[in-house]
A and B are shown apart, each in its own frame.
Chain A
Amino acid sequence: MAEITLVEAVDLALAYEMQADPSVVILGEDIAKNGGVFRATQGLLDKFGPDRVRDTPLAESMIGGLAIGMAIEGLKPVAEFQFMGFLYPALDQIINHAARIRNRTRGHLSCPVVFRAPFGSGIHAPEHHSESTEALLAHIPGLRVVIPSSPVRAYGLLLASIRDPDPVIFLEPSRLYRFAKQEVEDNGKALPLDKCFTLREGKDITLVTWGAMIKETMAAAEVIVKEGIDVEIIDVATLKPLDMETILSSVEKTGRCVIIHEAPKTGGVGADISAQIAEKALLSLKAPVMRITGYDTIVPYARLEKYYIPSVPQIVDAIKKTMEFA
């Protein structure tokens, strides 16, 4: 079994599903001949031909609307937005159409589309290539928002997203695209959507995170475990709909929780998780739930961007404060 990166896992899952299901069609800017600007669709044009692997004109509202029409008509389009910062022209299509079509037609029509986009900061890219606005999409009823944080989960969750009968926003943390390799078995097995993944079991404190912040959270956990604190780490993976059951049962066990995300704090998905813990597990809590997040600012350009991302010491500090709270 080969060790591959997260971006290669995306490519592998696309190839698997295109082979298995002739209704899967991929489209986007620079995805065919160029194999995508991150090479997430490398080799697919050669394997599956220009009918099913389509470079589009440069227009995101068009990509959104086109994919919706294709999906309603029975195809399974996987459309790429080159960066999350460039999917906004398609928000009208996604929010007003993709998310609502099943409901509006009382289930007669549905929209099994996947919208992929790289997102997040830390890759020294130019302006508009670094934001984490997943909460914007997680707010919308009718959408699924899925974020993988390892090659294995990228493979399994992308397969699940393509097979899902409803629209899925699949956000790929670009900072992790080539961060670590992992053995991924190309067996076509999907991982469950709408489920958190418990990456480490522990009894003292629950760390809840997703996407690229897995990296700093794992590093902080390594520090803190050495100090004798037994952490549990949860990768939320599907932000909408949210698997609160896993999070709540963990918090009921540990009584302490720190939520870590890269997106701005205000209106972030962390706020929702924290509110639900307060609503449903208040009496289990031994300390207030803390959120370590990006600031409520625009992500700085490359020179300062690393100062935007929550740091390992900052997470360690939050864990300690939560542990010491009496």
Chain B
Amino acid sequence: MKIVAHFEIPYYQILNEAQELVADLPSFAKDPAHLIRLYRLMVLNRLFDAKAIALQRTGKLGTYPSTLGQEAAFVGMGDALSKNDVIVPYYRDVGILIQRGVKLSEILLYWGGDERGNAFANKENFPYSVPVGSQPLHAAGVATAFKIRKEKRAVLTVCGDGGTSEGDFYEAMNVAGVWKLPVVFAVCNNQWAISVPRSEQTAAQTLAQKAIAAGFSGEQVDGNDVIAVRDRVTLALEKAREKSEPTLIEIICYRQNDHTTADDAKRYEKAKVREQEWEKEPIARLRRYLESIKAWSEKEEKELQVTSEAEIEKSVAEYLATPLAPLENMFDYLYATLPESLEEQRELLKQWGNTHG
């Protein structure tokens, strides 16, 4: 007998839960202004989240998936992307999208049940993907297009821990390995897929090691450490652009809320675990670090709360003032041009549109 394969899965952390630097700061993080920018985005993300949930509770928004506790994962990824890169998101990626030109009011519009919330002006942003685990294949396709056209670009796709159980996820990883595609697979492991815990999703020790079977490297990163997330995703995107090599990054975080506003986690989650995990949450961690290097003060914090709230209120007003789209839009985007055979139905819709109580 001889051993024919070995593998190791590294775990990366820079700023730990005790606000200690446990690794060298990457160069971007030596600039306090950069860290403050990330901090602001995380705070905006969290306040927006609370507002969205309040809107849902008062009947002004549809089902909404909270990002509470996962802000560093998304904000870190969003900051790592270059303008030229493509993002193929799932549905929890607020912190990425707001860095890609998507307005908060558009995010509300989508969860309020309006297709225009999915019509991102920036065409390097794929729309949301609700069918779990299906979108990593699209990212592999985007990467294939880059490769064929010999463009030095990368694509980032995100899914959850549950998403890694879908066949499509494995198929995407597999082809990315064989074809050496410039794609980064990020898995936001928030420990839950609705009520199913990570331990019931796979018997594998880590999700990151799924990359090994596909022939490329996988790693874990502390998802409550925005510096580490930003750093690892940046390096993986660079590797994709420069060497056309895929990477899987498992971002370890914790879902600090129900799966969505339609869910009730009390049915299956121990409150105690959530409380323990909250000790690691990303925003307080970075704030204390910034305070410790005298880059942030109580006064700035107060101002940030005020300006963020104002920005959010403005977006809510914009969202609530958005009139319904014309009913005929149902037909107008099905095909490049409406087939003649559908014109009769389009007229019917106009005729019966006002009879729906």
Interface residues of A (CB under 8 A from B): 29-30, 33-35, 37, 55, 57-62, 85-86, 88-89, 124-129, 265, 295-298, 300-314
Contact with A along B161-184 (1 / 0, CB 8 A): 011011110000000000000000
Q: Which residues of A are found within 8 Å of B342, using beta-carbon distances?
A: 296
**A301-B115 contact given A58-B132, A62-B167, A295-B349, CB 8 Å threshold:** yes
Asked whether, in the complex, the Cβ of A307 is within 8 Å of the Cβ of B195, the reply is no
Selected from A29, A59, A60, A304, the residue in CB contact (under 8 A) with B325 is A304
Asked whether, in the complex, the Cβ of A57 is within 8 Å of the Cβ of B325, the reply is no
Q: Which residues of A are found within 8 Å of B118, using beta-carbon distances?
A: 127
Q: Which residues of B are found within 8 Å of A306, using beta-carbon distances?
A: 356-357
Asked whether, in the complex, the Cβ of A303 is within 8 Å of the Cβ of B345, the reply is no
Asked whether, in the complex, the Cβ of A304 is within 8 Å of the Cβ of B352, the reply is no
Asked whether, in the complex, the Cβ of A128 is within 8 Å of the Cβ of B267, the reply is no
A86 and B345 alpha carbons, distance in the complex (Å): 28
Top-7 shortest CB links A-B: A302-B113, A34-B195, A58-B162, A57-B165, A313-B355, A301-B113, A303-B113
Asked whether, in the complex, the Cβ of A89 is within 8 Å of the Cβ of B168, the reply is yes
Asked whether, in the complex, the Cβ of B167 is within 8 Å of the Cβ of A30, the reply is no
A325 and B113 alpha carbons, distance in the complex (Å): 40
Q: Which residues of A are found within 8 Å of B113, using beta-carbon distances?
A: 124, 126, 301-305
Asked whether, in the complex, the Cβ of B131 is within 8 Å of the Cβ of A85, the reply is yes
**A303-B167 contact given A33-B267, A55-B195, A311-B355, CB 8 Å threshold:** no
Asked whether, in the complex, the Cβ of B352 is within 8 Å of the Cβ of A314, the reply is yes
B8-16, B146-154, B279-287, B327-335 - the one binding chain A? B327-335
Q: Which residues of B are found within 8 Å of A60, using beta-carbon distances?
A: 166
A37 and B193 alpha carbons, distance in the complex (Å): 12
A313 and B267 alpha carbons, distance in the complex (Å): 42
Asked whether, in the complex, the Cβ of B334 is within 8 Å of the Cβ of A298, the reply is yes
Selected from B128, B130, B262, B356, the residue in CB contact (under 8 A) with A37 is B262
Instruction: List CB contacts (< 8 Å) of B136-164 with chain A.
Output: 162-163
Asked whether, in the complex, the Cβ of B357 is within 8 Å of the Cβ of A35, the reply is no
11 A-B pairs within 8 Å (CB atoms) are namely: A33-B268, A34-B268, A86-B131, A125-B63, A295-B330, A297-B345, A302-B62, A303-B325, A304-B324, A305-B113, A311-B356
Asked whether, in the complex, the Cβ of B131 is within 8 Å of the Cβ of A295, the reply is no
Contact with A along B254-270 (1 / 0, CB 8 A): 00000000110001100
Selected from B111, B130, B195, the residue in CB contact (under 8 A) with A33 is B195
